[in-house]
């Protein structure tokens, strides 16, 4: 779509349009709002974004996003070390944290197994999970994967591969609706599903 | 809404949520996408935004946004100088330019008259429009305001205040649907409405 804005502004619109939920038209509207609020909104937003782009990094232990090699959860002594909650992505970790029901550590897979997309265990953080269970004395692994086909396939794969580890493998209770994604659930549902978790 | 992301990321989510069309949830999703594409998307977007925040300025002549005191349209010798197309905002100017049907100059009001919001002529660029008509030898003023109550009130106010100027005042033809906003129209409709413009 040709915009007849100055080149610099068109470049900004094109980049904004690559964000989820923003098409070319809504990206243009967003940029117009930014242009109207150059001082109060655009400059601080650019600064905040540059700051995050510069400082954000993946936690080398769990795959969560933080601002140093080990994330705030992995370095929090008050969090239980024997339990790992396995989630697909950082959005799901945030959803779990908002529910406030889990006090252990996480492991972020970075996606789900998908034959279609050629994503096998090595494309996810599954080997690292296996190592953590051996190294960290984990007594329970809670599989908090989405109730989608790929999520459940991945859960079964992980449960199988950990079956000889002596670790208890549980999954969120059926409070999670079929086909539901964690990030869309209310905090209460997530909390209830966690408390009623069952052996996998 | 409490996000359990690092503070820097929460600050970014809060700023993103202030963009039109993005609520807290979609802002979070947008930031997660940015976090996944730190190098390819987040850093360039932050840079583009900082660049625009630094360079964008309002044209002192017409109110369009450009990168210098006078915008690309006002400094384009190939554009007719005798005709001014009056629009509410820069989005509408871009919509007119996309239609490609108008070859004169613009005047961006910066809004519409609104008793409710306490916006009178002096809050808009109406005095500047009056000065331009006297100074630039304008023969036609095309009122391309939205077909909304406020848009049409503003059009009538401008037509009245220019009635003694000897300048021809026209408005876009009724190709613009009632209640319609220019920025939502296809280019063909805008072009047709412009060509069929009628005396106001
Ligand atoms: Zn971590
Ligand atoms: Zn200009």
CATH of the domain at A21: 1.10.8
- Kindly state whether residue A85 falls inside one of the protein's structural domains: yes
Contact yes or no for A30/B20 (Cβ under 8 A): yes
Report d(CA A166, CA A152) in Å as an integer: 21
CA of B173 to the centre of ligand 2 (A): 25
Mean pLDDT, rounded, for B102-122 = 92
B97 and B166 together in one domain: yes
Q: What is the pLDDT of residue A159?
A: 94
At B52-88, the pLDDT tens digits run 999 999 999 999 999 889 999 999 999 988 999 999 9
- Give the number of whichever ligand sits closest to the CA of residue B76: 2
CA B68 to centroid of ligand 2, rounded, Å:
9
Residues A83 and A50 in one domain: no
Does some domain include residue A67? no
A121 in the same domain as A48: no
If one counts the domains in chain B, the total is 2
Beta-carbon separation of B91 and A30 below 8 A: no
Q: What is the pLDDT along chain A (200 residues), one digit of tens a residue?
A: 344 678 899 999 999 999 998 888 899 999 999 999 999 999 999 999 999 999 999 999 999 999 889 999 999 999 988 999 999 999 889 888 888 888 999 999 999 999 888 999 999 999 999 999 999 989 999 999 887 889 989 999 999 999 888 899 998 775 666 566 777 777 777 776 777 676 66
User: If you measure from the C-alpha of residue A11 to the centroid of ligand 2, how many angstroms do you get, rounded to a whole number?
Assistant: 20
Residue with tokens 């024997």: A82
- 73-92 of A, contacting B, C-beta below 8 A: 89-91
Could you tell me if A19 and A88 lie in one domain?
no
What is the SS3 assignment for B71? coil
B87 lies in the same domain as B118: yes
Q: pLDDT per residue over B125-184, tens digit each? A: 999 999 999 999 899 999 998 878 899 899 999 999 998 888 999 987 756 665 667 777
Are residues A126 and A45 part of one domain? no
Nearest ligand to residue B61 Cα = 2
Q: What is the pTM of this model?
A: 0.76
Ligand in closest contact with the CA of A84: 1
Contacts of A56 (CB under 8 A, 6+ apart): A65, A66, A67, B6, B8, B9, B35, B38
B130: domain CATH number is 3.40.1360.10
Q: Hey, what are A66's tokens?
A: 């933080």
- Phi first, then psi: give them for residue A114, nearest 5 degrees: -155, 110
A73-94 burial code (b ≥16 CB/10 A, e <16): bbeeeeeeeebbbbbbbbbbbb
Q: Is residue B143 part of a domain?
A: yes
Which among A18, A30, A48 is the top mutation candidate for probing chain B, defined by the most B β-carbons within 10 Å of its own β-carbon? A48
Say if CB B113 and CB B120 are below 8 A apart. Answer: yes
Q: Do A15 and B53 touch (CB under 8 A)?
A: no
SS3 B141: strand
CA-based end-to-end distance of chain B: 50
What tokens appear for A174 in the block? 């059926």
Same domain, yes or no, for A156 and A117? yes
Number of H helices, E strands in chain B: 7, 7
Distance between CA atoms of residues A84 and A104, nearest Å: 6
Half-sphere exposure of B150 (CA within 13 A, CB side): 17
CA distance A121 to A99: 28
Question: Does B49 contact A49 at a Cβ distance shorter than 8 Å?
Answer: yes
Q: List the domain range (segments joined by +) for residue A31.
A: 7-55
Residues whose CB is less than 8 angstroms from the CB of residue A108 and which lie 6 or more positions away in sequence, other chains included: A59, A62, A63, A64, A87, A88, A89, A90, A93, A125
Helix spans in chain B (H):
7-16, 24-36, 43-55, 90-99, 126-135, 149-161, 187-195
Map tokens 């966690």 to a residue: A194
Residue B189 is assigned to a structural domain of this protein: no
Q: Which ligand is nearest to the CA of A108?
A: 1
Question: What crossing angle do the helices spanning B43-55 and A43-55 adopt, rounded to 10°?
Answer: 150
**Within-domain flag for B148:** yes
Q: What is the pLDDT of residue A64?
A: 95
B192 part of a folded domain:
no
**End-to-end Cα distance, chain A:** 50
Beta bridge partners of A171: A143, A198
Whether A2 is in a domain gets the answer no
Better-scored residue on pLDDT, B188 or A113: A113
Q: Do B49 and A53 touch (CB under 8 A)?
A: no
Please give the pLDDT value at position A148. 82
List of residues 6+ apart from A22 with CB closer than 8 A = A16, A30, B21, B22, B30
Please list every residue in chain A whose beta carbon sits closer than 8 Å to the beta carbon of residue B46. Answer: 46-47, 49-50, 53
Phi first, then psi: give them for residue B53, nearest 5 degrees: -60, -35
Separation between Cα atoms, residue A99 and residue B153, nearest integer Å: 51
Q: DSSP 3-state assignment of B133? A: helix
Question: Which pLDDT score, from 0 to 100, does residue A4 have?
Answer: 64
B114 and B33 within one domain: no
Ligand 2 ion: nearby residues, β-carbon < 5 Å: B 59, 61-62, 64, 71, 74
Q: Which residues contact A54 (CB under 8 A, 6 or more apart)?
A: none
Q: Verify that A83 and A166 share a domain, yes or no.
A: yes
Classify residue A183: in a domain, yes or no. Answer: no
Contact between chains at B30 and A19 (C-beta distance less than 8 A): yes
Residues B167 and B135 in one domain: yes
Residues 97-136 of B with CB under 8 A from A: 97-98
Q: Are residues A44 and A122 in the same domain?
A: no
- The residue of B22, B56, B100, B111 whose CB has the most chain A CBs within 10 angstroms, and thus the best one to mutate to test that interface, is B56
The interface pTM score, or ipTM, of the predicted complex is 0.77
Residues B19 and B86 in one domain: no
- pLDDT reported for residue A153: 92
Residues of A in contact with B2 (CB under 8 A): 98
């Amino acid at each position: 779509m040709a915009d007849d804005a100055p080149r610099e502004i068109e470049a900004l619109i094109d980049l904004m349009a690559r964000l989820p939920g923003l098409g070319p038209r809504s990206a243009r509207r967003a940029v117009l709002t930014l242009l109207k609020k150059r001082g109060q909104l655009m400059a601080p937003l650019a600064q905040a974004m540059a700051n995050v782009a510069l400082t954000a990094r993946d936690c080398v232990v769990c795959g969560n996003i933080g601002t140093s090699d080990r994330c705030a959860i992995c370095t929090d002594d008050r969090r239980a070390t024997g339990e790992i909650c396995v989630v697909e992505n950082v959005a799901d970790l945030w959803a779990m944290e908002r529910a406030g029901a889990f006090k252990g550590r996480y492991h972020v897979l970075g996606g789900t197994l998908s034959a279609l997309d050629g994503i096998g265990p090595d494309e996810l953080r599954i080997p690292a999970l296996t190592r953590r269970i051996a190294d960290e004395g984990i007594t329970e692994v809670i599989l908090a994967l989405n109730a989608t086909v790929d999520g459940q396939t991945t859960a079964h794969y992980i449960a199988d591969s950990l079956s000889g580890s002596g670790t208890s493998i549980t999954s969120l209770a059926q409070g999670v609706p079929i086909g539901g994604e964690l990030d869309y659930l209310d905090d209460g549902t997530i909390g209830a599903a966690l408390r009623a978790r069952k052996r996998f």
